[in-house]
A and B are shown apart, each in its own frame.
Chain A
């Protein structure tokens, strides 16, 4: 009973938002018939398209760099023993733990003081936002990949060594296939984290470098219109699809663990 109510509570507002993005009325409360006109409006809104391209390129670079840094961190923590390791593990999680607003303003001050150039050509002008996104994305990647590495059977590596494989071959043919699902899941997570971030981006973005959430925020401040619903629905659709893929892969992974 409470379960049902909670699910309704969690989903009803979002579903209402999606349904009313197709509503043929500016007042946005009563149903006046089905229309795509706000999607057309959104698609022809150049500012929105620009923000969308910015968001996608930030998310892309974020995914690539977070995957590299996160995998390195995971390998480091899995492979090596070193002094103050537990402290290091804690520090890696700090970007996830401390309030986003603190990271946002700290980076704002930092980029201001170090004179990070503001007038770079696209896509380099997005570098501030991208660096900030990598900072809070790669710890998530590290956590996921490390969890997967913990399930790696070291006997496999020894067997490969006994059969005469070198380290490069082991990485390519033994370790990499084992890590593949985790790599896919964490890249999807990094991509959505970046696409969705508002607070930190809010402090990094300028007039030339808006992202979709920033754009939606300024639209929401202005008024509640079906156009905002349409823009939100597009962003929602992208993240839901990515999330569904990630959860689906993770389920397969859990089943595999159950079997073994």
Chain B
């Protein structure tokens, strides 16, 4: 590691291009919508920077507030389901024979590379009213001679959650797996030798030690789920719109850019809020663990 002061040319050569790119295409655009969020719409196209709070006040209108709460609820439920599925799966991979591990990991990671749209479309094809799932149910029902009415599985909140779980599951499994790999298995043996029950072992030993990986996994699922646009757009019904869909409508349909900007700024604040929670939690944990050391 060298000091920037002694190698000025090399430093600026590596510093400027990425920084400029960030500045022009990230910080300036976000600053603009930040300013827009305090502006008022005048006429059809004009927007004046007038430093008013109207857009934020409107965002706290029950209609939009309920969308926010709904989005947070859907994202939280998605995170919970991902955790409940991902936890045993991660244990399964971590305790698999050594030669199997890379294969299993690859199987879990590979869907991450597959296009989000294609995965969502695949879900539509399976679960729509005339889809494969209903078709299989009908076949089973006919086998037993039960009259069958195709179920409406799509275009509701449950479908959105299903889609989000489907897409974000690898994000949960990977950090949990990494956590289990570093887990000292003799602790489990010691606990069961001392007579602890299965449930007690999990709550008293596994969960506390795994907490950092669990938090990482939850953040990795919660943040993208909260801001997801495509899944509720394609799988959700009119009542299961999330924040991102409302934002999109402000820009591409309602043409109310200041209000849309205010909503997206709030989404950004929420995202950073979730990150800050994780940061403070890990820091507190780190300090309390160093204090306990002799």
Interface residues of A (CB under 8 A from B): 2-3, 6-7, 9-14, 16-17, 20, 27-30, 68-70, 72-73, 75-76, 78-82, 91-92, 94-95, 97-103, 105-110, 113, 131-132, 134-135, 138, 142, 192, 195-196, 198-199, 203, 213, 216-217, 220, 224, 228-229, 232, 235-236, 239-240, 242-244, 247, 251
Contacts and interface: CB of A to CB of B under 8 A. Distances in A.
A102 B224 CA distance: 12
Contacts of B114: 14, 196, 236, 239-240
B85 A2 contact: yes
A79 B247 contact: no
Contacts of A107: 25, 29
A10 B229 CA distance: 20
Nearest to B92: A3
Contacts of A135: 21-22, 25-26
B243 to A, nearest CB: 8
7 contacts: A78-B1, A91-B27, A99-B244, A106-B33, A109-B36, A135-B25, A239-B113
B257 interface: yes
Given A69-B21, A239-B115, A102 B268 contact: yes
Contacts of A12: 126
Contacts of A228: 121
A132 B25 contact: yes
Nearest to A110: B29
B268 A98 contact: yes
A166 B136 CA distance: 69
A106 B122 CA distance: 30
Given A16-B126, A100-B227, A103-B26, A243 B36 contact: no
Interface centre among A3, A13, A103 (most CB of B within 10 A): A13
A236 B119 CA distance: 10
B111 A106 contact: no
Given A100-B227, A101-B247, A6 B234 contact: no
B267 interface: yes
Nearest to B112: A243
Given A109-B257, A109-B261, A203-B251, 5 more contacts: A14-B114, A14-B119, A72-B13, A80-B4, A103-B26
A10 B111 contact: yes
A106 B125 contact: no
Nearest to A94: B26
Contacts of B106: 247
Interface string B100-132: 001010111111011111110111111010111
B186 to A, nearest CB: 23
B14 interface: yes
Given A82-B4, A105-B251, A105-B260, A97 B166 contact: no
B73 interface: no
Given A10-B169, A79-B2, A99-B224, A17 B121 contact: yes
Nearest to A90: B275
Contacts of B214: none
B158 interface: no
Contact of B166 (A10, A16, A75): A10
Interface string B120-151: 01111110101110010000000000000000
A99 to B, nearest CB: 2
A145 B267 CA distance: 30
Interface string B249-291: 0011000010011001001100100010000000000000000
